[in-house]
A and B are shown apart, each in its own frame.
Chain A
Amino acid sequence: MEKVGVYICSGCDIDKLDIERLKNVVKEEFGIDAKVHPHLCSKEGVELIKSDLSELDAVVIAACSPRVKTAVFTFDDKYVERANLREGVVWSHDIDEHAQELAEDYLRIAITKAQKAEKPEPYLEEVSKDILVVGGGVTGLTAALEIAKAGYKTYLVEKEPELGGWVAKFYKTLPTSPPYTQIEEPVVFKLIEEVKNNENIEVYTSATIDSISGQPGMFDVRLIQDDNKIDFRVGSIVVATGWKPYDATKLEELGYGKYADVITNLELEEMAKNGKIVRKSDGSEAKNVVFIQCAGQRDENHLPYCSSVCCLVSLKQAKYVRELSNGNAFIIYKDMRTPGLWEDFYKEMQQDEGIFLTKGEIKDIREEGGKMVVEVTNTLLGEDIAIKADLVVLATGMVSTLKGLYTVKEEFPDEKTVPYKHIAEPHPIKSEEDIEVIKQAGHILNLQYRQGPELPTLKYGFPDSNYICFPYESRRLGIYAAGAVRAPMEIASCIDDAKGAALKAIQAVELVAEGKTTFPRTGDIDFPQFFLQRCTQCKRCTEECPFGALDEDEKGTPMPNPLRCRRCGICFGACPERIISFKTYSIDQMASAIKSIYVPDPNWDEGAEDKFRFIVFACENDALPALDMAALNGIKYSPLVRVIPVRCLGSVNTVFIADALSKGIDGILLIGCKYGEDYQCHFIRGSELANRRMENVAETLERLMLEPERVQVVEVSISDWDKIPEIIDNFVNQIMEIGANPYKGF
């Protein structure tokens, strides 16, 4: 940007600084006449800026933190850079010469960034706003219907010949809306009717996806139906492929496979649907039926998680036993899990005099005189009990349909690869052949993404979001999982979940149509651009992108898909050739900003030996707000530190470190979010990557005879505002003890 205007606010104690000196820095170093206003965010202050706007490309606001008064200091089409003099200087430091110099540097950084920024242009393409729903069970049907009702064309793909999924095979189902008290007829048949009658929905049954390529707004889908290939383009995708039952043959300890009269809850469902609950061994009517909860669930050796629905399902099926056999149903549970309003269902089912419930652990299951005997210990009855039964039903759990598939490369690290810490269950492989073997298990989407063909999973094969606040966070923009594929859930929840995912799918097509990304940088149109002539095909960017945005040609040159991009800048941080940049967040811009920091030269500047200089790269999502909050609480930290916000620690290129150190900066601290299994990093692994890169930097430092301690990475969370100042000060003290950077003044 050529024409940059600088506005300094002198309110909120900023006037404790020497404003004239600040103006002089702006004038002398940048040739700009800065304007000062005592209350810049007031109407008059804003008017002052607005009256100059026609002359300007960019505006530097030297006032409060960029997190406040954001709307006030937003001007159409103008690039705005904020120099944080309030929270960053006057509220977090004693006002002295050091603070003054800090403020000056913040002005230099801001003006440099503004000057180096370029005008972003959105990536606009002809996009499709049609939406693909994969899976024709209750979740998929609901998603398709709801999307269609919102006016979008929907393709619904089901691999079975009939729509309906598991629910269509059920005798009766749990209630789908409050009050949760009565068992109902499967809702799915009504949904199928509605879907079939909806003009906006195109249904493909007995169809599988051959491949999906492209990016949101431009997903090219190829279906295979009866050996025919069907091609169409969609903008986004809802994955509702549901669940599969846990393999009961693994439950030999519970007698499955050993005794004919030990069956699963699904088998009971089928029996009930056929009208009679019978013993498999002799076909006689089963009168006494024992239900064993957590048959595999909550068990390290089987499914460590709780399947959420099985308590409810067994209560429901106990009712079948009552109604169809006039028998007795015994439910042995670990904890009766009927959360929320489902308590009403528990209460209602409990009322039945033929339903017997106790907590307990199964001690033994055996056959005795033609009957099953279930021995239960740790019961509420004050003693171990042995129940004679005609039939034993195992309440087996739900497994995501993604479990066991080849999802993404990073979940199947080979021997050379160190798995990312955010991957809960890496499945190590030895060779490419292993992958081919795993791929035999089938696929769902078969995405033509360099990083792998399916949605990345979180744990236990569920492609769930790791973020409590953002349950539809997807590492594949435009593709959203819903229903039991995402997490174990009952029908009512599936219906709700389908709506949520449907909205996200609609939102995705609307956003990409305008070239925008989704959160946390929602609405950002700027996207990374690659100067490929200088690419060395090192593949770091394509490997490290957490969102699979970059594909590769045969040589390994990245092929960007801007609409898959979430704008974190991890690729930009990864590139050793510095060929990836955004218009408003570029290598040159950041490097220049770093270089703009005035490092006192011991040869010239008085007192330079005490004026150490440090850079803190602070993640704009957590570390930066935490620093603001420290300032609000009046917690002070070293004024020798210049805080430079970054989109993510993953966007810190090692060149920044090199530039800073060669300029004489004494130490660099990277403050980012927690990484690993419970990661808080908004870009999944940005801070983990920063750590890895800085480990490599440490080696470089040693070669340069610089102490590796000079570059450190710490993880904080937004609520660590009481700790960050201390972390910074400790770092500063540590480096001051080591001594000044010997490269100063070169």
Chain B
Amino acid sequence: MEVDAQFVRDVLEFGGKTLKKCYQCATCSVVCPQSPEENPFPRKEMIWAQWGLKDKLLKDGDIWLCHQCNDCSEYCPRGAKPGEVLAALRAKVIQEFAFPSFFAKILLKPAGIVIYFAIPILLTLLYLAIFNPEIPSGEIVIGNFIPHLHIELAGFAVGGWALLVAAIGAFRFWTAINSEVSKVYEYKLEENAELNVVKSSPRFIECLFWSVIDVLKHSRFAECGTSRYRYFAHLMIFWGFIILGVATLGDIVYLYGLGVEELALPLSDPVKILGNIGAVLLILGSGWAIVARFSDERIGYGTYFDWIFLSTIFAVGVTGIAIEALRYAGSVAAYYAYLIHLILVFTLIAYAPYSKFAHVIYRTLAYTWAKSTGREPKK
């Protein structure tokens, strides 16, 4: 067996600094509302991480079933904060599976913040140098500053890149977690269904479908005890994003379906309303998460990995609203806010496969895997 001492140091550095305190009492595995009966987590993950068993952890879907409810950390007799350690492990897994891995390694370090912002800023400067857009005068119309088409094209490019990288990660991840499956269960695919051990039946699409339902409903998150706020905060952020996504779609429909020329929509416009609701949810959700993280040291402050993601979301929301407010106020500052907003949106999307954002994919896949292998907690 190869013990990877570097891996242990990495986990410690990635926020699992309490890792070594664990003395394997297994309180965590029992108090965890997400943990299945058979080979429950996170006790085993703790010792694997203590021993630097990187391979095992990369193949371990369980760490993605953890929602950092922190019931484990709350009851942990040693202050080993399994919730935090698993978060660190997830960061480590994202880093390992992301393509190219070295880029992830750079981005995930606090010093990487330079690169994190340098890329979009340089790209923006490049754009400004090439197209030299001028601050329009008169009524504030964003589209007059930078054409929507440019934004859309850039969006597609960045999104495409992100999707491609994410797909590589997802593929690697899916292969890894399925390589270790020893038992396969028949799982009756409806909500709160009983678990049946009958025969091998990994019906991927069905499992994925129900997993997405779970995700939409946050039904697993809802089980959380200690950090129940996370369920609400996450639900707000999550639906904030979805609503914003729908609003963006609405924008596109306006532009290309209905032939609307400019998106300086009035506040009463349904798409605008939707957009505002989304933005508010995003700001409130991420704001709540930020405040809550400060308040309970017993369960952990989180790490750079958490903070950069959370702050970016918050900043995207705030700048989005700021543009709007400035626009209505008729201030040209709206254009500058817009640039900042674009930079932030870029970091959110382009780095998604390297940042905490990647959990969208990993966790959904883990759900799917859990369903297909019966790793669901007993109700």
Do A's and B's CB atoms come within 8 Å in the complex?
A: yes
* Contact among B3, B12, B39, B44 with A328 in the assembled complex (CB-CB below 8 Å): B3
Of all chain A residues, the one with the shortest Cβ separation from B26 is A380
Given A351-B21, A380-B44, A382-B44, 17 more A-B residue pairs with CB atoms under 8 Å apart are A328-B5, A330-B3, A346-B23, A350-B21, A350-B23, A353-B5, A353-B8, A353-B12, A355-B20, A356-B50, A356-B51, A381-B48, A381-B53, A385-B1, A386-B1, A387-B1, A388-B1
Find chain B residues with CB under 8 A from A385 CB: 1
Q: Whole-angstrom distance between the alpha carbons of A352 and B12 in the complex?
A: 11
Find chain B residues with CB under 8 A from A355 CB: 20
Q: Could you tell me the distance in whole angstroms from the C-beta of A348 to the nearest C-beta in chain B?
A: 10
Q: Whole-angstrom distance between the alpha carbons of A618 and B314 in the complex?
A: 85
Find chain B residues with CB under 8 A from A357 CB: 50
Q: Whole-angstrom distance between the alpha carbons of A541 and B5 in the complex?
A: 69
Q: Whole-angstrom distance between the alpha carbons of A358 and B8 in the complex?
A: 16
Q: Whole-angstrom distance between the alpha carbons of A346 and B2 in the complex?
A: 25
Q: How many residues of B contact A (CB 8 A)?
A: 20
At the interface, yes or no: B284 with Cβ under 8 Å from chain A?
no
- Residues 571-587 of A contacting B (Cβ, < 8 Å): none
Contact status B24-A347, CB under 8 Å: no
Find chain A residues with CB under 8 A from B78 CB: 347
Find chain B residues with CB under 8 A from A381 CB: 44, 47-48, 51, 53
At the interface, yes or no: B150 with Cβ under 8 Å from chain A?
no
Instruction: Specify which of B3, B39, B44 lies most central, judged by the most chain A CB atoms within 10 Å of its CB.
Output: B3
Q: Whole-angstrom distance between the alpha carbons of A382 and B38 in the complex?
A: 12
Find chain B residues with CB under 8 A from A387 CB: 1, 3
Of all chain B residues, the one with the shortest Cβ separation from A358 is B47
At the interface, yes or no: B298 with Cβ under 8 Å from chain A?
no
Q: Whole-angstrom distance between the alpha carbons of A476 and B114 in the complex?
A: 79
At the interface, yes or no: A45 with Cβ under 8 Å from chain B?
no
Closest 10 CB pairs of A and B: A385-B1, A353-B8, A351-B20, A380-B24, A380-B47, A356-B51, A386-B1, A382-B44, A350-B20, A381-B47
At the interface, yes or no: B188 with Cβ under 8 Å from chain A?
no
- In the complex, 5 of the A-B residue pairs with CB atoms within 8 angstroms, ordered by the A residue number, are A330-B3, A350-B21, A353-B12, A381-B47, A381-B53
Q: Could you tell me the distance in whole angstroms from the C-beta of A359 to the nearest C-beta in chain B?
A: 8
Q: Could you tell me the distance in whole angstroms from the C-beta of B296 to the nearest C-beta in chain A?
A: 22
Of all chain B residues, the one with the shortest Cβ separation from A330 is B3
B12-27 vs A: 1/0 string, CB under 8 Å? 1000000011011000
Find chain B residues with CB under 8 A from A350 CB: 20-21, 23
At the interface, yes or no: A354 with Cβ under 8 Å from chain B?
yes
Of all chain B residues, the one with the shortest Cβ separation from A327 is B5
Q: Could you tell me the distance in whole angstroms from the C-beta of A1 to the nearest C-beta in chain B?
A: 67
A637-655 vs B: 1/0 string, CB under 8 Å? 0000000000000000000
Of all chain A residues, the one with the shortest Cβ separation from B51 is A356
A359-381 vs B: 1/0 string, CB under 8 Å? 10000000000000000000011
Find chain A residues with CB under 8 A from B23 CB: 336, 346-347, 350
At the interface, yes or no: B217 with Cβ under 8 Å from chain A?
no
Instruction: Specify which of B8, B51, B78 lies most central, judged by the most chain A CB atoms within 10 Å of its CB.
Output: B51
Find chain A residues with CB under 8 A from B20 CB: 350-353, 355
At the interface, yes or no: B378 with Cβ under 8 Å from chain A?
no
At the interface, yes or no: B9 with Cβ under 8 Å from chain A?
yes
Find chain A residues with CB under 8 A from B51 CB: 356, 358, 381
Q: Identify the A interface with B (CB < 8 A).
A: 328, 330, 336, 346-347, 350-359, 380-382, 385-388
Instruction: Specify which of A354, A386, A388 lies most central, judged by the most chain B CB atoms within 10 Å of its CB.
Output: A354
Contact status A347-B21, CB under 8 Å: yes
Q: Could you tell me the distance in whole angstroms from the C-beta of B82 to the nearest C-beta in chain A?
A: 14
Find chain A residues with CB under 8 A from B2 CB: 388
Q: Whole-angstrom distance between the alpha carbons of A336 and B44 in the complex?
A: 18
Of all chain A residues, the one with the shortest Cβ separation from B18 is A351
Q: Could you tell me the distance in whole angstroms from the C-beta of B80 to the nearest C-beta in chain A?
A: 10
Q: Whole-angstrom distance between the alpha carbons of A275 and B5 in the complex?
A: 24
Q: Whole-angstrom distance between the alpha carbons of A511 and B200 in the complex?
A: 82
Find chain A residues with CB under 8 A from B52 CB: 356
Q: Whole-angstrom distance between the alpha carbons of A330 and B8 in the complex?
A: 14
B43-57 vs A: 1/0 string, CB under 8 Å? 010011011110000
Q: Could you tell me the distance in whole angstroms from the C-beta of A322 to the nearest C-beta in chain B?
A: 11
Q: Whole-angstrom distance between the alpha carbons of A359 and B43 in the complex?
A: 14
> Known: A336-B23, A346-B23, A347-B21. Contact between A354 and B47, CB under 8 A?
no
Find chain A residues with CB under 8 A from B44 CB: 380-382
Q: Could you tell me the distance in whole angstroms from the C-beta of B56 to the nearest C-beta in chain A?
A: 8
Of all chain B residues, the one with the shortest Cβ separation from A353 is B8
Q: Whole-angstrom distance between the alpha carbons of A418 and B67 in the complex?
A: 69
Find chain A residues with CB under 8 A from B12 CB: 353
Instruction: Specify which of A328, A336, A350, A380 lies most central, judged by the most chain B CB atoms within 10 Å of its CB.
Output: A380
Find chain A residues with CB under 8 A from B3 CB: 328, 330, 356, 387
Of all chain A residues, the one with the shortest Cβ separation from B22 is A350
B281-294 vs A: 1/0 string, CB under 8 Å? 00000000000000
Q: Whole-angstrom distance between the alpha carbons of A330 and B23 in the complex?
A: 14
Q: Whole-angstrom distance between the alpha carbons of A442 and B23 in the complex?
A: 45
Q: Whole-angstrom distance between the alpha carbons of A336 and B2 in the complex?
A: 24
Q: Whole-angstrom distance between the alpha carbons of A386 and B2 in the complex?
A: 9
Q: Whole-angstrom distance between the alpha carbons of A386 and B39 in the complex?
A: 21
* Contact among A346, A380, A382, A388 with B39 in the assembled complex (CB-CB below 8 Å): A382
Q: Whole-angstrom distance between the alpha carbons of A274 and B2 in the complex?
A: 30
Q: Whole-angstrom distance between the alpha carbons of A164 and B280 in the complex?
A: 74
Q: Whole-angstrom distance between the alpha carbons of A354 and B1 in the complex?
A: 15
Q: Could you tell me the distance in whole angstroms from the C-beta of B129 to the nearest C-beta in chain A?
A: 48
Instruction: Specify which of A330, A336, A350 lies most central, judged by the most chain B CB atoms within 10 Å of its CB.
Output: A350
Of all chain B residues, the one with the shortest Cβ separation from A336 is B23
Q: Whole-angstrom distance between the alpha carbons of A319 and B24 in the complex?
A: 21
Q: Whole-angstrom distance between the alpha carbons of A18 and B47 in the complex?
A: 79
Find chain B residues with CB under 8 A from A382 CB: 39, 44
Q: Whole-angstrom distance between the alpha carbons of A119 and B12 in the complex?
A: 79
- Residues 73-109 of B contacting A (Cβ, < 8 Å): 78
Q: Whole-angstrom distance between the alpha carbons of A356 and B21 in the complex?
A: 11
Find chain B residues with CB under 8 A from A359 CB: 24
Find chain B residues with CB under 8 A from A354 CB: 5
Q: Whole-angstrom distance between the alpha carbons of A330 and B5 in the complex?
A: 12
Find chain B residues with CB under 8 A from A347 CB: 21, 23, 78
Q: Could you tell me the distance in whole angstroms from the C-beta of B161 to the nearest C-beta in chain A?
A: 36
Q: Whole-angstrom distance between the alpha carbons of A253 and B126 in the complex?
A: 72
Q: Whole-angstrom distance between the alpha carbons of A328 and B50 in the complex?
A: 12
Instruction: Specify which of A328, A330, A353, A382 lies most central, judged by the most chain B CB atoms within 10 Å of its CB.
Output: A353
Q: Could you tell me the distance in whole angstroms from the C-beta of B37 to the nearest C-beta in chain A?
A: 15
Contact status A353-B9, CB under 8 Å: yes
Q: Whole-angstrom distance between the alpha carbons of A385 and B48 in the complex?
A: 12
